Structure 1
Amino acid sequence: MEKTLLVFVALVLVSSCKGQKWTPPGFCHQKKCPEFKVVETNQDFEERLYVATEWITTKVESSKSSDLMAAFSRLKNYCQKQNEAGYEISDDVWPRLITVTEGEDSSAVSMSWFVPPGTKTPENTDESVTLQSRPEDTVYVRVFGGFPSIESGQENAKLLREALAKAGKTFDPNTYSGVGYDHYISFTHHNEIWILAV
């Protein structure tokens, strides 16, 4: 009887561990998005552990909407060109990131799109678009709604930095990403600010 019970417990444990698959949250709109685990949640932010990810990234000349649209077009054209060449880079993914690195005299801005795991990617020959690998990282996240803008991103990055300092977290004070999961013309928006832990 004891041996039978032991075998039964082992089978239950194996079956419960087998096949566990990550399910993207609702704000990913049933599209592939980066896998993460929530480590901690508090009133002002969430701490997430993201798996290693791949992105396509292009520089944004300024925060003007015309420069943001030009960056968007570069990434979309890159995906289309690579797909015509037999690769599988989708432009129908979430999230889309706008990363701002603030310096003493100026800021550097880039736009990135997530590349799902297993995507067949080319050797990069396009100087305006780079393939970027990000290691597993702890990311602090502030969620906010409303129409996304550079101004709302800056304000929410400021609020997240203040909350992280108050909570005693160590983080990169110069870089943040504004993260979007919805089309620009959507009626509702799930926006996030990401700041990397250090």
Structure 2
Amino acid sequence: MERPLSVLVALVLVSFCKGWDEFCRGKPCPEYQLVQKNQDYEERLYVATSWITTTIKNNSSGAVLAANSRLKNYCKKHNTGRDVQIPVDTWPALITINQEGSLSWFIPPGAMPEITDESIKLETRPQATVYVRVFKGFPDLKMGEDNAKKLRDALTKAEKTYDFPAFSGAGYDPYFSIDHHNEVWIYAV
């Protein structure tokens, strides 16, 4: 995929167990247990989670905005006249960088939507160990890649096994927030 100047910006375009609420700010988010924390990363054990996901056609900012609009429009359309609503105020928004990019929104337990759009898929991710590096600042692709490299270097030094080269950027704040809580996630293998 092409590398845009700011793919991870979309992480925060959408309006996590004790300790996660400080950056979820009372919004629904995935539960986890903190297994280990050091100066370089956190090791978290996430419960099984559900996500709605759409593909990012390329890593241009326009493609990321289009993916965000697709999820938002799908949720609005789905929620009209239904008892079971897809929440649009959950955290984090995830952009996954692997062979193809994707944008995902967390779906809390009990809010399983019926997917009727071929461009949107429902993903159920099993319980997993995730290595997380937290960083501040306005998120962009360069910042995400730099933090993913730092996380990989720390994991290699600690002799941890992890999914390479895939990583996810997790955003927890509205686009125009003054202070951004950002994370890079790399799954253990």
TM-score (norm: length of structure 2):
0.88
Greater C-alpha Rg: 1
Equivalent in the alignment of 1:163 = 154
Question: Could you tell me which amino acid in structure 1 is paired with residue 40 of structure 2?
Answer: D
1:195 corresponds to 2:156? no
Moved more, 124-133 or 50-59: 124-133
Counterparts of 2:105 and 2:157, CA distance in 1: 31
Question: Could you tell me which amino acid in structure 1 is paired with residue 88 of structure 2?
Answer: D
Deviations 1:48-86 (A, max 9, x none): 000000000000011211111000000001111110151
Which runs of at least 4 in structure 1 moved beyond 3 Å after TM superposition?
21-24
C-alpha change, 1:24 and 1:155, in structure 2 (3 Å) is closer
Structure 1 residue 23: deviation in Å?
A: 6.7
Structure 1 residue 25: deviation in Å?
A: 2.2
Counterparts of 1:23 and 1:43, CA distance in 2: 17
Moved more, 57-66 or 84-93: 84-93
Number of aligned pairs?
172
TM-score (norm: length of structure 1):
0.84
Aligned-residue sequence identity (percent) comes to 54
Unaligned runs of 5+ in 1: 1-20, 102-106
Does 1 or 2 have the higher relative contact order (CA < 8 Å, sep 6+)? 2
Counterparts of 2:29 and 2:19, CA distance in 1: 10
Deviations 1:78-97 (A, max 9, x none): 11111015131011110000
From the two aligned structures, give the one with the greater helix fraction: 1
Unaligned runs of 5+ in 2: 1-16
Counterparts of 2:51 and 2:67, CA distance in 1: 14
> Which of residues 114, 134, 145 is equivalent to 2:136?
145
Equivalent in the alignment of 1:129 = 120
